[in-house]
C-alpha cells in the first residue's frame, strides 16, 4: 500500500465521520492513522537504512488505553553488497505488521504515550526465493497533539527486538490520524424533589425573612482538587443546610477558556462533583445536593488575562431559607 493511498483512507474516513457524534479520546472511540518512519536496520543484515510507511487502526478500551493494529511496507531498502554484471545493489521488499497496547498520560491536547506489543517482519533474502521472517517485540514512546476533537499529529520512537536473529532495530517517525466515535459521558442525575410535609393547622402567620448563603470556590489551573483555604467556606454552607433541612442546592462548575470545549466540560463537572462530595462528607444528605458543569460557557471575567482566568476557574453554589423574625 503506498503512503498516498493510506493518507487517502484517513481523509476519506474523516469525511465519513463528519456526521458522527464525536467525543475524542474516550473509551469506545476509534483512531485511524497514516504513518511514515525512518527505519534503522541491524548491521548483520548488510542493508542500508530505509523507510516504513503504512497505516494503523485502534480502539480505546478506556480513556487512556488504546489497542492498536497496523501494517507497513519498507521503502528504499537496498543491499550494501553489489551484484551482477552491472554491479548494482539489490532492492529489498518487505513488510511489518504489528499489534500493540498504547497507554496515554494526562488529558488535553498534548498526550505523551508509551507502547508495547508484538510484530511480524518479512524481508526478501538476497539471492533466494524465500523470505526472511521473524517475530519481534516492540516498545515505544512519543507524544500526540490533538489539533481538535477529530485530528491529531503524532511523533515517536520505536525499538524492535527480533527473537529469531537476536537483532535490535529502531524506527523514528511521524503520523497523521483521526479520532471518532466515542461515547458522551452520562448527564448528572437531577436531585429528587424535596418531600413536602402536610400543611399544619392555620396559625397566625409569623414574620419571615429570607437568608441567603453563597459559596465561591476557586481552583488552580487544570485541577479539580479543593484548595485548603476554601474548606471553611464549604463547612459553613454544610452547617447552614443541616440547620435548615428543607433547602437544596445545585453546585455549578466552571473553567477558563484554555483547552478544548470537551475537555473543559469534563473538568467543570469534576470540580462540581468534588465540592458536592465535600458537602456530603460534612453531613449533608446526598439527595439535597446536585452537581452540574458548564465548561467555559459562563465566564465572569476576561479570559485574556491571568487574573480573569483565575476568577473563571470556580465552583458556585447558593442556598436560601426563610427564617422567622423574633
Q: How confident is the model at residue 165 (pLDDT cuts 50, 70, 90)?
A: confident
Per the structure, the count of domains in the chain is: 2
Q: How confident is the model at residue 195 (pLDDT cuts 50, 70, 90)?
A: confident
- 280 and 140 housed in the same domain: no
- 167 and 235 housed in the same domain: no
Range of the domain at 128: 3-180
Q: How confident is the model at residue 203 (pLDDT cuts 50, 70, 90)?
A: low
Q: How confident is the model at residue 1 (pLDDT cuts 50, 70, 90)?
A: very low
- 64 and 159 housed in the same domain: yes
CA distances from 104 to 113, 141, 144, 242, 321 (A): 4, 10, 9, 43, 47
- 249 and 148 housed in the same domain: no
CATH code of the domain covering residue 226: 3.30.1330.60
Burial 129-138 (b: 16+ CB within 10 A, else e): eeebebebeb
pLDDT score recorded for residue 88: 64
- Is 200 inside any structural domain? no
pLDDT tens-digit map of 294-318 = 999 999 999 999 999 999 999 999 8
- 131 and 15 housed in the same domain: yes
Q: Where is pLDDT greater, at 109 or 226? A: 226
- 137 and 221 housed in the same domain: no
- 107 and 164 housed in the same domain: yes
- Is 247 inside any structural domain? yes
- 219 and 142 housed in the same domain: no
Q: How confident is the model at residue 93 (pLDDT cuts 50, 70, 90)?
A: confident
Q: How confident is the model at residue 89 (pLDDT cuts 50, 70, 90)?
A: low
pLDDT score recorded for residue 10: 42
Closest CA to 291 of 312, 311, 277, 308: 277
- Is 12 inside any structural domain? yes
Q: Where is pLDDT greater, at 270 or 108? A: 270
CATH code of the domain covering residue 135: 2.40.160.20
- 173 and 46 housed in the same domain: yes
pLDDT tens-digit map of 261-298 = 999 999 999 999 999 999 999 999 999 999 999 999 99
- 43 and 148 housed in the same domain: yes
pLDDT tens-digit map of 42-75 = 766 777 788 889 999 999 888 889 899 999 998 8
pLDDT score recorded for residue 80: 66
Closest CA to 125 of 171, 169, 165: 165
pLDDT tens-digit map of 209-250 = 777 788 899 999 999 999 999 999 999 999 999 988 888 999
pLDDT score recorded for residue 20: 42
Q: Where is pLDDT greater, at 84 or 312? A: 312
- Is 159 inside any structural domain? yes
Q: Output the average pLDDT for the chain.
A: 82
pLDDT tens-digit map of 28-48 = 889 999 999 998 887 667 777
- 10 and 125 housed in the same domain: yes
Amino acid at each position: 500500500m503506498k503512503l498516498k493511498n493510506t493518507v487517502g483512507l484517513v481523509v476519506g474516513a474523516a469525511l465519513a465521520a463528519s456526521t458522527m457524534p464525536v467525543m475524542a479520546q474516550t473509551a469506545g472511540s476509534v483512531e485511524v492513522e497514516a504513518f511514515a518512519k525512518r527505519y534503522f536496520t541491524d548491521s548483520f543484515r548488510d542493508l542500508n537504512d530505509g523507510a516504513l510507511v503504512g497505516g494503523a487502526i485502534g480502539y480505546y478500551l478506556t480513556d487512556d488505553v488504546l489497542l492498536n493494529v497496523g501494517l507497513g511496507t519498507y521503502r528504499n531498502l537496498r543491499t550494501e553488497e553489489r551484484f551482477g554484471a552491472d554491479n548494482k545493489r539489490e532492492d529489498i521488499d518487505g513488510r511489518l505488521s504489528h499489534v500493540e497496547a498504547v497507554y496515554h498520560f494526562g488529558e488535553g491536547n498534548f498526550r505523551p504515550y508509551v507502547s508495547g506489543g508484538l510484530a511480524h517482519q518479512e524481508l526478501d533474502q538476497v539471492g533466494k526465493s524465500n523470505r526472511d521472517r521473524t517475530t519481534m517485540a516492540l516498545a515505544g514512546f512519543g507524544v500526540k497533539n490533538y489539533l481538535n476533537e477529530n485530528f491529531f499529529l503524532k511523533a515517536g520512537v520505536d525499538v524492535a527486538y527480533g527473537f529469531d536473529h537476536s537483532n535490535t532495530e529502531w524506527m523514528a517517525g511521524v503520523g497523521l490520524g483521526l479520532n471518532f466515535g466515542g461515547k458522551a459521558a452520562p448527564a448528572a442525575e437531577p436531585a429528587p424533589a424535596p418531600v413536602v410535609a402536610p400543611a399544619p393547622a392555620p396559625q397566625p402567620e409569623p414574620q419571615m425573612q429570607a437568608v441567603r448563603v453563597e459559596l465561591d470556590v476557586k481552583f488552580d489551573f487544570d485541577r479539580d482538587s479543593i484548595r485548603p483555604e476554601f474548606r471553611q467556606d464549604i463547612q459553613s454552607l454544610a452547617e447552614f443546610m443541616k440547620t435548615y433541612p428543607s433547602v437544596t442546592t445545585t453546585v455549578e462548575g466552571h473553567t477558563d477558556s484554555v483547552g478544548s470545549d470537551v475537555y473543559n466540560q469534563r473538568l467543570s463537572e469534576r470540580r462540581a462533583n468534588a465540592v458536592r462530595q465535600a458537602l456530603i462528607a460534612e453531613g449533608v444528605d446526598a439527595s439535597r445536593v446536585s452537581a452540574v458543569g458548564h465548561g467555559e460557557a459562563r465566564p465572569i471575567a476576561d479570559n485574556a488575562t491571568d487574573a480573569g482566568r483565575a476568577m473563571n476557574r470556580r465552583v458556585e453554589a447558593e442556598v436560601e431559607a426563610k427564617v422567622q423574625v423574633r
